[in-house]
Amino acid sequence: MRIPCPYCGARDAHEFAYLGDATVTRPDPSAADAPAAFHDYVYLRDNPAGVHQELWYHANGCRRWVTVTRDTRTHAISSAVFTRSGS
């Protein structure tokens, strides 16, 4: 599997470290429902068989975080962008 890093170009997946689902967001720890929200955030995943947005860190390259959109059935990558634009 090769990942098209926006800065370095297509590189072997071996150069990247995987974090997982990019769609989960850290809840507000001071909210009233924080315990339930953190349970969902830490443990529950959509885990789709199909298009999946995920975070990869280009550890052995430009050391930027990349948000990759990949089909989990075929490994076909439809997009790869920096996780925070402009930083």
Q: Rule CB under 8 A: which residues touch another protein?
A: 1, 12-14, 18-21, 36, 39-40, 42-49, 52, 54, 72-75
Give the H/E segment covering residue 37: helix 34-43
Within 10 angstroms of residue 35's Cβ, the number of other Cβ atoms is 10
Asked whether 66 and 54 are in contact (CB, 8 A), the reply is no
Instruction: Compare residues 56 and 87 and give the one whose CB is closer to another protein.
Output: 56
How is residue 64 annotated by DSSP? -
Query: What are 61's two structure tokens?
Result: 């390259």
Instruction: Compare residues 38 and 82 and give the one whose CB is closer to another protein.
Output: 38
Instruction: Compare residues 52 and 58 and give the one whose CB is closer to another protein.
Output: 52
For the bound state, the minimum distance from the C-beta of residue 85 to another protein, rounded and expressed in Å, comes to 23
For the bound state, the minimum distance from the C-beta of residue 87 to another protein, rounded and expressed in Å, comes to 24
